[in-house]
Structure 1
């Protein structure tokens, strides 16, 4: 049996902080302290976390049930919670295949919850960093067929790449080898709410975790350049195909979905 990965419980990690904000239990005192500091500065952070997660659920449901996607590459998975990507996708399409990617050792420890696939489908987990796209694609090819459409999910992860042009380059390098008809789904925190920005600045200054960089809605929209936007476009997460769980107000998070064009349609 492989040795358990070493988990540093003295330094907060974004995946565990997010788990805390979503009401999860897979976090440590240092993660809870960082999350509580953010919440004190910006009480809306919990609702932002929830509404972001709800958008992910709606996106996966749309892609599997309406767009016919049967393969998902979810980078920046985070810790298992309710309605993980494979659960939502395989409810609509039991044969769906999902690859999760994260770089937190605790996510690896919990990965067996992410690998509980339907008999008809498959799931896999890769421990890797989004900043190194090519090995991710190579490892994902064990489970996914890149000659067929894939849904690439970068949900809340690109803000952890401090340099915007690097974040755009990473996105382009991940999308480029995908088959026509593939999709990119993305959301990230935005810089248009001063209270949210102050909370993130305080978090970055005092937590010791990887800093997070909110970006403008326009910058987030540029991740989808060259793709055919799925209605309603790039919007606050509460406005992307809302359902009964969507808040009736916006949160400091914007996202959208784009489809890689199919030539000679």
Structure 2
């Protein structure tokens, strides 16, 4: 599932490509036909991301909410020559502007909502490390009251928005924190350091388009867990030697998601 920096990159791209002008919106697949008709021909006033949600705000107050889920993705095409390509595959939503178009396939959610519903979605989400209006104190308040494992809390979108399995596993390793430690045992200073690291790491992801989490001094040449994937400390490296101490990385399922950690380094 895409992590938050991907949604912020999409929001920035769509802001550049479509904002300030009418957009032709359709649903070649048919599953978003009524929603597409509600915004077709309206001007896109802004695109924004909060956590793993992407919002397209249109003139008149209608908002398209997209959650990519596991399989969702946007693809882009150029229409500056006047030619609009035929849709390929199951395109849930097609956007066509003056110079570019974009096709959305396989999202978990694609719907038109109003301002009140938009506010309800935001109210259910925790602070997003990539938003300038984020309040990390609200996340720590929830963490400090919970006996759940910190690894589970970091993935809870109502606690922190936009953090996925890669950033969760990696930031806990970078701060040498046992992923099973209860939230009540995480100090305010420790959380402040985690938050600051997430902000810095996710900004790199936003800027570069890929996840960079391994410090240069720890990058001893062990390959990424798969071609084209990020080099990580523990994520998807179960059974491989820890980049720092050489202990075999462990994995276990926690609340339906695979967790990765080093049992030697992460004892604090």
Q: Same fold (TM over 0.5)?
A: no
Structure showing greater relative contact order (alpha-carbon pairs closer than 8 Å, 6 or more residues apart): 1
TM-score in terms of structure 2 length: 0.27
Task: Give the TM-score of the pair, scaled to structure 1.
Answer: 0.27
Higher normalized strand content (fraction of residues): 2
Higher helix share: 1
Compare CA radii of gyration and give the structure with the larger one.
2
